[in-house]
A and B are shown apart, each in its own frame.
Chain A
Amino acid sequence: MTASYTERTHAAFAGQPIDTADPRVLAWLVRRHGLEMTHLSRGSHIGAVFSMAEIISVLYTRILRVRPDEPKWPDRDRLILSKGHAGAAVYAALAERGFFPVEELSTHYADGSRLSGHVSHKGVPGVEVSTGSLGHGLGVGVGMALGAKLDKAPWRVFCILGDGECDEGSVWEAALQARQYGLDNLVCIVDHNRMQSLDFCEKTLALEPFADKWRAFGWRCLTADGHDTEALEKALREAEAARGSGVPTAVIALTTKGKGVSFMEDDILWHYRTPQGEEYEAALRELEAQRP
C-alpha cells in the first residue's frame, strides 16, 4: 500500500510525536513539505520557500496570536505573505499548526485544489490576503494596521516581503505611509536571501545599504540571522516592544536562498527548477539527515 502524503512527509519522525510548537521542528517540516509539494506539483520557487522556513515557523510558534480552530478570531494577528510565490511555506505552516489537514498539502497546484502556487485566501483558513504580484502586501498591511490603530485594537500586522520585491516602487510608497501614520503595530520582515528571479539583487538593482534605506524612511530596522530561530524571535519580540513608539519596525532576515539543501543554496536555478528524480532523492536525503 502506498503511504499517504502525511505519512511520507512525517516518516522521518518514525512515529515519534511531532512537536510543531518547536520552531526548529516546524521549520524542518516546512522544508520537507516545500520539497514534497514542489516535487508533486512540478512547481517552482522551492528556493524562496526554503529561505523563509525559519521566518514562518518562528511566527507561527512564538509570535503570532492566532487560533487554528477560530481562524477569523477578531483579535488575531494578521500575517500577509507579500512574496506570494512562497505560498507553500505558509500552507505548510498553517497545516502543521492545525488550520487544515496536512494531507491537503498534496493538492498544491492541482486541478480543483484550494492551494494555488501563489498564496490564496479563498477558502483557505488562516490566509488573510491573496498575493502573487509583488509590491502589494505592505500597502494592504498598512491599511490593516491603520484600521487596528484607529480601533485601538490589540492585534498586529506582520508582512513578509522578499528582497527582490523591494524593487517595486509601491513598497516604498507604503513604507512612507507606515511611518506617516505611526504604525508601530506593523512589522515588515524582509527575507533577504540576496537573490531575485534572474540574478543576485546587488547585480540587478542594488539594495545596499538596505537597512539604512528603511531607517531613512523613518523605520526602526533590525537585522537578524534568518535561519537562527532564537535570533529571529528576539528581533520580533523587540518589534513588539516598540508598541507605543509610533515607529514601524522592519526586520531584515539574512537568509540563503535554497537553505537546507547544499546544491540548491545560492543557486538561482532553484528559483524555478522543480526537484525531480535524483535531485529530489538527494534533497530528501539531506533534509532527513537534518531532522531536529
Chain B
Amino acid sequence: MRDAFVRALMREAARDPRLMLITGDLGFGVLKPFWETYPDQFINAGIAEQSMTSMAAGLAATGRTVLTYSIGNFPTLRCLEQIRNDCAYHDANVKIVCVGGGFVYGSLGMSHHATEDIAAIRCLPGVTVFTPGDPAEVEAVVPVMLRTPGTCYLRLGRGGEPTLHPSPVTGWQMPKPLTLREGTDTAILSAGGILTQTAEAARLLAERGVSAEVVSFPCVKPMDAEAVAGLCRRFRHLFTVEEHTVVGGFGSAVCEIAAELGTPCRIHRLGMPDIYASAVGSQQYLRTRYGLDAASVRDRVLDLIKE
C-alpha cells in the first residue's frame, strides 16, 4: 500500500508544484523516489512530530497542500493536539499519512501498534478519515484526498499487500464503500489492510455454504450512512472487521448509524478487545492471536449467524 501511495502521490506532485511532503524522519527506501524526483517539495522535519504537524499547518496557510508522513502512532497520537488545534481547527490543508495501521510493525512491540488511531482521529471535528483496503483503493483514494478540503487522515498498511480488487478502482466517490464480493447470507464490512483477511474469510465461508458479502470502507469519516442503512436492511447480521480496538473505531462508526435506524439487524464488531497487545510476533501472528485472521473471522461468523 505504501508503494501505491508514493506512486499516486508522485503523479499528483508533478501536477501541483505547491504540494509538499514532510516526513518525520521515516520512509527509508519508500519515499526515496519522491525526494529524488521532487527535492523542492520534500522536507525531513526530523524526529519531531509535534512541530512537524504545526509546521504543516503553517505551510498550508501559505496556500499549499501539505502531507505529513510517519509510521504507527507517530503522526497521530504523538501530535494529536497539534492535529486538533493547529490543523483541524484552522481548516488547514494538511493530509496526515500513517504507514503501519494495525499490527504491521507487530514484532517491534506495542509502541508500534497503531490500534487506536482511527478512534482518536475520527472524533476530531472536520477531519476526514481514509482507510483503504488494498493498493487499488490507495490509488483511488489519494487523488480524492488531495482534493478534499481541510485536514485528512490516511491510514495505510504496509508494503507488498496483494491487490484484491480485480481491476483498478476508477471514479471512486468519497465516502462510498466498495463491494468486493456479493453475498446473500451476511455481509462483512472491512476497514483498512485487514481486507485480505476479510476477503479470505468470505472465501472460507463459501466452502461452508455461507454466502458472505465483502464490503470495504476506504472512508470511515464521513461514513456513507445510506450504504450502511442499505446493508442493515438487507441482512440480519453484519460483521465489522478492523485491525484496531473495537472501542471507537470503524465498528463503532457503523453502530452509530445502525443504532438510529431501528432495523432488526445485529452488528458484531471484530477487532482488538480493549487491551494492548503485549504478545510478540508478526502481523499475521498477532492477527491470529487476537482473532482477526481469516479462519478466526470465519469461525466468528459461523458461530454468530446461528443465533
A interface list, Cβ under 8 A from B: 121, 128-133, 135-148, 150-151, 153, 169-170, 173-174, 176-177, 180-181
Residues in A whose Cβ lies below 8 Å from that of B70? none
B59 touches A147 (CB 8 A): yes
- The CA-CA distance from A34 to B43 in the complex, in Å, is 41
Shortest beta-carbon distance from B83 to chain A in Å: 11
B85 touches A139 (CB 8 A): no
B48 touches A173 (CB 8 A): yes
**What is the interface of chain B mostly: helix, strand, loop, or mixed?**
helix
Report if A170-B51 is in contact (Cβ < 8 Å); known contacts: A139-B82, A139-B86, A143-B56.
Answer: yes
Shortest beta-carbon distance from B297 to chain A in Å: 41
Interface residues of B in 28-83 (CB under 8 A from A): 40, 43, 45-46, 48, 50-64, 66, 81-82
B90 touches A142 (CB 8 A): no
- The CA-CA distance from A150 to B42 in the complex, in Å, is 12
Residues in B whose Cβ lies below 8 Å from that of A147? 58-59, 61-64
Contacts A/B (CB < 8 Å), 14 sampled: A129-B61, A129-B86, A130-B89, A139-B53, A139-B55, A140-B57, A142-B58, A143-B57, A144-B62, A173-B46, A174-B51, A177-B46, A177-B48, A180-B46
Complex: chain B residue closest to A140, CB-CB: B58
- The CA-CA distance from A63 to B201 in the complex, in Å, is 66
Shortest beta-carbon distance from B249 to chain A in Å: 26
**B40, B48, B53, B55: the one within 8 Å of A146 (CB):** B55
- The CA-CA distance from A46 to B54 in the complex, in Å, is 27
Shortest beta-carbon distance from A217 to chain B in Å: 13
Complex: chain B residue closest to A168, CB-CB: B50
Residues in B whose Cβ lies below 8 Å from that of A129? 61, 86, 90
- The CA-CA distance from A186 to B46 in the complex, in Å, is 19
Residues in A whose Cβ lies below 8 Å from that of B57? 139-140, 143
The proximity string for B residues 86-103 relative to A, scoring 1 for CB distances below 8 Å and 0 otherwise, is 100110000000000000
B46 touches A176 (CB 8 A): yes
**A130, A140, A176, A181: the one within 8 Å of B48 (CB):** A176
Residues in B whose Cβ lies below 8 Å from that of A128? 61
- The CA-CA distance from A55 to B50 in the complex, in Å, is 27
Complex: chain B residue closest to A149, CB-CB: B62
**B54, B61, B63, B64: the one within 8 Å of A139 (CB):** B54
A146 touches B59 (CB 8 A): yes
**B45, B52, B58: the one within 8 Å of A144 (CB):** B58
**What is the interface of chain A mostly: helix, strand, loop, or mixed?**
helix
B86 touches A144 (CB 8 A): no
Complex: chain A residue closest to B48, CB-CB: A173
Report if A146-B58 is in contact (Cβ < 8 Å); known contacts: A135-B50, A176-B46.
Answer: yes
The proximity string for B residues 130-142 relative to A, scoring 1 for CB distances below 8 Å and 0 otherwise, is 0000000000000
Report if A143-B58 is in contact (Cβ < 8 Å); known contacts: A135-B50, A173-B50.
Answer: yes
Complex: chain A residue closest to B61, CB-CB: A144
- The CA-CA distance from A59 to B59 in the complex, in Å, is 23
Residues in A whose Cβ lies below 8 Å from that of B45? 177
Complex: chain B residue closest to A84, CB-CB: B85
B55 touches A143 (CB 8 A): yes
- The CA-CA distance from A145 to B54 in the complex, in Å, is 12
Residues in B whose Cβ lies below 8 Å from that of A141? 58
**A130, A133, A139: the one within 8 Å of B90 (CB):** A130
**A142, A144, A148, A151: the one within 8 Å of B51 (CB):** A142
Shortest beta-carbon distance from B268 to chain A in Å: 39
- The CA-CA distance from A180 to B50 in the complex, in Å, is 16
Residues in A whose Cβ lies below 8 Å from that of B61? 128-129, 140, 143-144, 147
- The CA-CA distance from A244 to B151 in the complex, in Å, is 33
Those 8 A-B pairs whose CB atoms lie nearest each other, nearest first:
A143-B58, A139-B54, A147-B62, A139-B51, A173-B48, A173-B51, A143-B55, A143-B59
Residues in B whose Cβ lies below 8 Å from that of A139? 50-55, 57-58, 82, 86
Residues in A whose Cβ lies below 8 Å from that of B86? 129, 136, 139-140
Residues in A whose Cβ lies below 8 Å from that of B90? 121, 129-130
- The CA-CA distance from A176 to B44 in the complex, in Å, is 12
- The CA-CA distance from A179 to B66 in the complex, in Å, is 21
- The CA-CA distance from A180 to B51 in the complex, in Å, is 13
Report if A170-B59 is in contact (Cβ < 8 Å); known contacts: A136-B82, A136-B85, A140-B86.
Answer: no
